[in-house]
Structure 1
Amino acid sequence: MLPTPDTSHVPYTRVYEPAEDSFLLLDTLSAPSETAFLSSRFGGASSSRTAPLIVEVGPGSGVVIAFLTAHAQTILGTRHVLACGVDVNRFACAATVGTATKAIKEAGGSAGAGWFLDAVQGDLVTPLRAGVVDVLVFNPPYVPTDELPRVPVPVESEPAMTTFEEESQLLALSYAGGRDGMETTDRLLAALPTALSARGCAYVLLCAQNRPDEVKERMRAMGGGWKAETVGTSGKHAGWEKLQIIRIWRAIRDA
């Protein structure tokens, strides 16, 4: 079993603490079926070939992107990967950098760790150029709520200290998903065809209230060879899959 990155430095009053959904992502991405899939697309990459770019949108503590970066050789079949995170919460960005840095250091060069670039404050994939993301991971705010919390203004305009109310709002950004828990996720799904590279794939976590079967059908109906399948679950609760991870991808055309 691959070690879970240390997040003891993370300020959990401001940043989402790793929970069942986070650990389901770790288990799924390191499962034999997914390492085989990822290695078939990216394995064998070297310094003479464009390194795959891994992006986690909304990394929170950074536990998932740090895990992928630290164990790149095992999970993607190559250590020649670049990784970064994008989060609207500036404290999550700082936490992610710390988690990734520690995880890579603890993994050591011989373990096949990749290179972590940075975590930037931004809304979903807006800070990224089109068509550059090879592996996108998204653990969205999936809980149905009456409304979405306000997105923070850019970091340059924010004070260094936060009030209890502001901290509560930062945490709400990590779970409050609006109508059907899908308002933020729907925006990300709509952006995938533009954000992903030709060989790109996305892993998106959903709960039962998000209607994952409908989401998969919607992605398949986009045309252009898009596929969507459930590749990880937290088990059935009262006949429903409580949490699912769906993989969204296309057959490689010009990898």
Structure 2
Amino acid sequence: MDWALPRLVTVAKASAWQYSSAADSEPGRNDSVNTNAACPADEMIPTPSTSHVDYNRVYEPAEDSYLLLDTLSASSESNWLRARFPPTSATPSAVEVGCGSGVVLAFIAANAERLLGRPDVTTFGIDVNEFACKATADTVSLAIKEAGPTNQSVFGGSINGDLMTSLRPGSVDILVCNPPYVPTEELPNESNLDEFADRADFGSDEAFDRDSRYLALAYAGGMDGMEVTNRLLDQLPEALSQHGAAYILLCAQNRPDAVKDRIRSWAHGWSAETVGSSGKKAGWEKLSIIRVWRS
């Protein structure tokens, strides 16, 4: 669908780039690993392969990633999404902000029928890390290819950009975000990332500095771990479609209950509920996923 990216992205935003996937030119290969997510019928759904991803430069799937997969594939959440986006409605768009390896977006694309009750979803990734954009393109394209001929999902592209600033208003139906949630004294400096992107002649010290900075962008959340998430929340009302829903991962120190109360206070009737949790683990490491939508 050549129309998909222009429909979603504000073309005037110079920070938005579309990455094609090397997987498009490769024969299908089946090296999917892990079976940690259950579908509505309690059938185990394979986790998409990320064996091609360089984890020195891109955030490696971990407990938070798998919590998102478990939450989206839970029967209660699948039923909610099926009612929200019935097969008679237009193909929904799914956008992952901070797409990293692309494992979550690939999971949605490859398992649209099981998660949404329909074979089609148009997917897009957004990340400030250009290596993550390229990794996501490969991961999602490969997962769609391996899903088989009945799957009608489309990968629209990866956008090298800042949160949702490059998206058209009201264009996102399903938003997923595992933001940098770890409390840190400050956010990483993004000012010279373009210098890294345009060079290939790195010395070992420079390469280490570049890779460390890219990885810090994936976890360092600033004050209370909420500086990036607060900006994301501010953009949600404009980015989501009328029936859109956002899934946002938080840790305990992000104060999820306060975040939900804040969202519920927005004008025009917004709801926020916890739909996934890492369990009873104490301290800031306890993770939760909130769903945000217009009531």
Deviation at 1:76, TM superposition (A): 1.3
Partner-residue secondary structure (3-state), 1:174:
helix
What's 2:80 paired with?
Answer: 37
* 2:294 aligned with 1:250: yes
Alignment partners' CA distance in 2, 1:137 and 1:9 = 22
Alignment partners' CA distance in 2, 1:154 and 1:239 = 37
Contact persistence 2:185–2:222 (CA under 8 A) = yes
Deviation at 1:107, TM superposition (A): 1.1
Measured on the aligned residues, the alpha-carbon RMSD in Å equals: 1.7
Deviation at 1:72, TM superposition (A): 0.8
Alignment partners' CA distance in 2, 1:113 and 1:178 = 39
Partner-residue secondary structure (3-state), 1:101:
helix
Match of 2:59 among 6, 16, 19: 16
Deviation at 1:225, TM superposition (A): 1.2
Deviation at 1:160, TM superposition (A): 3.5
Deviation at 1:219, TM superposition (A): 0.2
* 2:214 aligned with 1:174: no
* 2:143 aligned with 1:99: no
Counterpart amino acid of residue 218 in structure 2: S
Contact persistence 1:121–1:154 (CA under 8 A) = no
Matches within 5 A, 1:1-255: 1-45=44-88, 50-110=90-150, 112-151=151-190, 153-154=193-194, 158-160=198-200, 163-238=207-282, 242-251=286-295
Deviation at 1:241, TM superposition (A): 7.6
Counterpart amino acid of residue 143 in structure 2: A
Counterpart amino acid of residue 165 in structure 2: T
Contact persistence 1:142–1:177 (CA under 8 A) = yes
Alignment partners' CA distance in 2, 1:144 and 1:136 = 23
Partner-residue secondary structure (3-state), 1:128:
coil
Counterpart amino acid of residue 27 in structure 1: D
Alignment partners' CA distance in 2, 1:155 and 1:197 = 35
Q: Structure 1 stretch 239-248 or stretch 227-236: which is displaced more?
A: 239-248
Q: Structure 1 stretch 152-161 or stretch 192-201: which is displaced more?
A: 152-161
1:19-49 deviations in Å (ceiling 9; x for gaps): 000000000001001110111011214xxx5
- Tell me the matched-pair count: 247
Q: 1:202 to 1:14 in 2, by over 3 A?
A: same
Deviation at 1:77, TM superposition (A): 1.7
Contact persistence 2:252–2:283 (CA under 8 A) = no
Structure 2 unaligned blocks of 5 or more: 1-43
Partner-residue secondary structure (3-state), 1:74:
helix
Q: Structure 1 stretch 94-103 or stretch 155-164: which is displaced more?
A: 155-164
Alignment partners' CA distance in 1, 2:200 and 2:120 = 36
Contact persistence 2:251–2:284 (CA under 8 A) = no
Deviation at 1:204, TM superposition (A): 0.1
Partner-residue secondary structure (3-state), 1:236:
coil
Tell me the TM-score normalised to structure 2 length. Answer: 0.80
Alignment partners' CA distance in 2, 1:139 and 1:158 = 27
Contact persistence 1:233–1:241 (CA under 8 A) = no
Tell me the TM-score normalised to structure 1 length. Answer: 0.93
Counterpart amino acid of residue 164 in structure 2: V
Q: Structure 1 stretch 101-110 or stretch 148-157: which is displaced more?
A: 148-157
Deviation at 1:79, TM superposition (A): 1.8
Counterpart amino acid of residue 213 in structure 1: D
Deviation at 1:233, TM superposition (A): 0.2
Identity of aligned residues (%): 59
Counterpart amino acid of residue 270 in structure 2: W
Structure 1 unaligned blocks of 5 or more: none
